[in-house]
Structure 1
Amino acid sequence: MAQTKSYIAARLSAFPNWPLWFYVALAAAVAVASRQVPVLGTDSVASIISRTSHILVFLVAVTIVADLCSAAGLFDAVGRYLARHSGGRIAVLFFGVSALGLFTTTVMSLDTTAVLLTPVVIRMAKNIRVSPLPFAMAAIWLANAGSLILPVSNLTNLLAMHRLQATPLEYLSVMWLPGLIAALVPVALLAIGYRKTLLRPYDPPLKGAPRDPILVRICGAVILAMLPAIVAGIPVEGIAVIALTVLFVVFAVRDRSALGWHLLPWRLIVLTVSLFIAMAGLSKVGAESLVASALGSSDDLVGLLRTAGVSALVANVFNNLPAYLLLETALPAEASDQLFGVLIGVNAGPGILMHGSLATLLWWDRCKKEGVDVTWRYFLAFGLVCVPLTLVSSVFALWFVLR
């Protein structure tokens, strides 16, 4: 009995330390959803599964890929390289990391940035003996807010492009400016808030050799190979699965000790599935009509601000991916301009509560593993300042492009 209690306590403590009210609200939503499953119908359930299953596959695969790259020492190698080539100035290093974060988010997706870049910047900051918090915060804000520029940057963008029946170039012609501004605003706020830290010099670290240089090079090659594949339009979940397969075979040969069931991100799987089920049920008990009323039908500047604000609120409460599915169904088919406003809200807006996006959950999990404690209170305080400024600036840019 004592062993059973200890095991249960250990499993419960493995879940993120989210507020109790969120667990209660999530449980209630799932309960409502489960009661509404017969109302959804077989066709509706099948449609929801077909539209969201690739998200879960990508999430699991890319998380394990990141863990294996970390085990190989790739993150440490990249962090040392960045730290050695910034001239001993923290500000140069910070903006260099920011540029790298925007690049990886734009061409490799926000989840990849949250998973791959976060350990890099945390270990890099620790190696030069500076606070890793501004670098870690830049990584997650560039993952979320910087995920508007290309369709591959965020799975919500891919869903929107499919609904709009637009080409990647057509999407880019509308969202490049809003996406760029959405990325610059949080970087500027972080630079201002941490200006004393960024103005300090540091001693560049000495060059070090990884434990298995060949394994590091293979991991780096796999990550770099993902870039042209994603740009070419290959389904991201297929790319992630192929990358995972390659690394699994390589590790089976060179470092079998890194493989195991511990790599499976079961917490994120449980949460993601629960969120999608909850949203499917809520959409059948009046949530869709309520959201449609809140969004309105105007696509002028005020209407776009309203759309982005409502979308950000829904994303922070329910998580951005299921929120997008609900918001999309609440809009009429011809509301293309408003749909871009929804993307700004669900991509750049979920920076107030940590469960607002899957990327943030991945990032927070990486921070915990690297020994960086980001409190809910701190994340909330920064988000309450940054989110409104980011949304307003991006919506003004969207309105300017659409004129």
Structure 2
Amino acid sequence: MMSAIGAETWSVAGLLTVLAWAVIRPFGWSEAVIAVPVASILVTVGVISPTDACSELTELAPVIGFLAAVLVLARLCAHEGLFSWCGTAMARMARGQPDRLLTSVFVVASLVTAVFSLDATVVLLTPVVFATAARLAARARPHVYACTHLSNTGSLLLPVSNLTNLLAFHASGLSFLRFASLMALPWLIAIITEFAVFRYFFRRDLVAAPAPSETPEPSAPPWFALATLSATLAGFAITSTLGVNPAWAAAAGALVMTARAIRCRRLRLTSIIGAADPPFLAFVLALALVVHAVIDNGLDDTIDGWLPHTGGLTGLLGIAAVAAVAANLISNLPAVLVLLPLTAAGGPAAVLAVLIGVNIGPNLTYTGSLATMLWRRVLHQHDHATSLTEFTRLSVLTTPAALLAALVALWASLHLFGS
């Protein structure tokens, strides 16, 4: 049997290896290329028992199914023209003015993140924002930076908005509607706070007069995608109320869109399966096993010593601060996997404080979340250089302010609606 020191060494080394690969991604290979073998090795050498590994995978299966369905739904809605239509709507709302464009990007990106998850904002909306800024001859910087910040901050509202939300939703014991009602005010206040800072930080870019351009003609809304999306969102609320896993509603929406895509011969079935991003799903499961091993071998005691065990606003602020620091040190997904077991006993309030910390906190650094890493790749694909200095200056101004505002709003929501 492996010693405690040996198990701790193996688990920490495994986690660091997986995170380093996820940040660097040599040759553009998937995060799963390393994560799956590392998880398998930890099970093989006895750092985590096969029984615990099976239990962890079984517990996460509904979450993974939910995530896969939402990813497919987002991709198929993109093929229906939903995001292109959003780009035209943003251009029309902007009326040729960069400051109006920033407002429309904030509105659209917040809604896209809330409904489709942060990956949709980074991968599908950011290229549309680039094209819209070019169409209006506006400087792209404020608007594409908004995409990465809102892919994190804008993901507070619904259980489907972020993988971290799905995990927190599972741990909180809240219904879909209850979760959304408690997080609505923190979501809104955090976005408004970020918007105010963005308007100040990019004030010179936003007053630059764009070249004259015509207001784009309105395009026909993608009614089928909008109707399916609305029905899916209603299904989330209904299934949650009935005590049925909302993953079934997500799966139904994805199946409807899949049937249409195949019938219209817009996509092959293999492309639709690819939209679920199986390598990423495998990475999430493998990472969960690696984090489980780290928790079982001492990390939980260390972090538990940092967590405040007091109630009220001070306690919520302390929990969120620890979560934000952890997210920037080991990325948001591992951080939430570590913290949820330690805070679940504190009830929904503690779990939601963790969620605010791991969703807003990652805006502070490039490596805080996988979404930010992915956003940088999208920018490089568009030959748009990023500045670490500029990113950090903006993040230092926005992140603590949005974090504090969201925690105060959560505290108010808990008092207004009860926990």
Alignment TM-score > 0.5, same fold: yes
| Shift, 1:119, TM fit | 2.3
Deviation at 1:163, TM superposition (A): 3.0
Q: 1:30 to 1:248 in 2, by over 3 A?
A: same
Matches within 5 A, 1:129-144: 129-144=137-152
2:356 is aligned with 1:348: no
In structure 2, relative to structure 1, the CA distance for the partners of 1:171 and 1:361 (3 Å cut) is same
The reply to whether residue 34 of structure 1 matches residue 52 of structure 2 is no
Map 1:158-307 onto structure 2 (within 5 A).
158-202=166-210, 203-205=212-214, 207=216, 226-233=232-239, 234-235=246-247, 238=251, 241-242=254-255, 245-246=258-259, 248-250=261-263, 253-254=265-266, 259=271, 265=277, 268=280, 272-307=284-319
SS in 2 for 1:298: coil
The alignment status of 1:118 with 2:126, answered yes or no, reads yes
2:51 match: 43
1:109 deviates by: 3.1
Could you tell me which of 68, 77, 81 is aligned with 2:89? 81
Counterpart AA for 1:344:
I
User: What whole-Å deviation, never above 9, does each CA across 1:48-103 have from its counterpart, x for those lacking one?
Assistant: 21343455555556556656665676544432332134322221221122112222
- What displacement does 1:125 show? 0.9
Q: Deviations over 1:187-219 (max 9, x none)?
A: 221111111222344434464799xx99x7666
Partner of 1:145: 153
Alignment match, 1:96? 104
In structure 1, runs of 5+ residues without a counterpart are 1-10
Aligned CA distance change for structure 1 residues 66 and 337 (closer, same or farther; 3 Å) = closer
| Distance verdict in 2 for CA 1:82–1:241, change over 3 Å | same
CA 1:267/1:299 → structure 2, altered by over 3 Å: closer, same or farther? Answer: same
Shift of 1:137: 1.8
Are the counterparts in 1 of residues 77 and 257 from structure 2 also a CA contact under 8 Å? no
Residue type at the aligned position of 1:177: L
Contact 2:87 2:132 in 1 (8 A): yes
Shift of 1:307: 0.7
Q: How does 1:382-397 map to 2 (within 5 A)?
A: 382-397=394-409
What secondary structure sits across from 1:356 in the alignment? coil
Pick aligned residue for 1:314 from 326, 331, 353: 326
Specify whether residues 97 and 402 from structure 1 end up closer, same or farther in structure 2 by C-alpha distance, changes over 3 A only: same
TM-aligned CA distance change 1:260 to 1:187, over 3 Å: same
Contact 1:68 1:247 in 2 (8 A): no
CA contact (8 A) 1:76 1:124 kept: no
User: 1:62–1:112: 8 Å Cα contact kept in structure 2?
Assistant: no
Report Cα offsets for 1:17-41 as digits up to 9, x if no partner: x9xxxx9xx98x9589826863433
Say whether 1:338 aligns with 2:350.
yes
8 Å Cα contact 1:110-1:153 kept in structure 2:
yes
Q: Match for residue 324 of structure 1?
A: 336
The C-alpha deviation readout for 1:268-300, integer Å capped at 9, x for no partner, is 457545533331221122011111111131123
**4+ residue stretches of structure 1 with deviation over 6 A?**
255-258, 260-264
The Cα shift of 1:247 comes to: 6.0
Is contact 1:71–1:258 with CA below 8 Å preserved after alignment? no
3-state SS in 1 of match to 2:54: helix
Q: Residues 237 and 364 from structure 1, CA distance in 2 versus in 1: closer, same or farther, beyond 3 angstroms?
A: farther
The aligned counterpart of 1:12 is: 26
Structure 2: how far apart are the matches of 1:269 and 1:154? Answer: 13
Structure 2 gap ranges (5+): 1-24, 240-245
Q: How far apart are residue 340 of structure 1 and its match?
A: 2.1
Deviations 1:325-362 (CA, angstroms, capped at 9, x unpaired):
21011125244432221111011111123343343344
Query: What are the Cα deviations for residues 133-167 of structure 1, in whole angstroms up to 9, with x where unaligned?
Result: 21122122222112223333334334333333223
- 1:244-282 per-position Cα deviation (integer Å, ceiling 9, x unaligned): 63365156x246699599868577457545533331221
Counterpart residue identity of residue 129, structure 2: V
Bigger shift: residues 372-381 or 194-203: 372-381
Q: CA deviation at 1:239?
A: 5.1
Q: Which range moved further: 147-156 or 86-95? A: 147-156
Question: Judging changes above 3 Å, is the alpha-carbon distance between structure 1 residues 248 and 307 closer, same or farther for their aligned structure 2 residues?
Answer: same
Equivalenced residue count is: 381
Alignment partners' CA distance in 1, 2:303 and 2:104: 40
After superposition, residues 356-371 of structure 1 pair within 5 angstroms as: 356-371=368-383
- In 1: Cα distance, 2:46 partner to 2:320 partner: 32
Question: Residue 88 and residue 13 in structure 1: after superposition, are their counterparts in 2 closer, same or farther (change >3 A)?
Answer: same
Secondary structure of the residue aligned to 1:38 is coil
Distance 1:339 1:329 in 2: 9
Report the residue type matching 1:13 in the other structure: F
Identity of aligned residues (%): 30
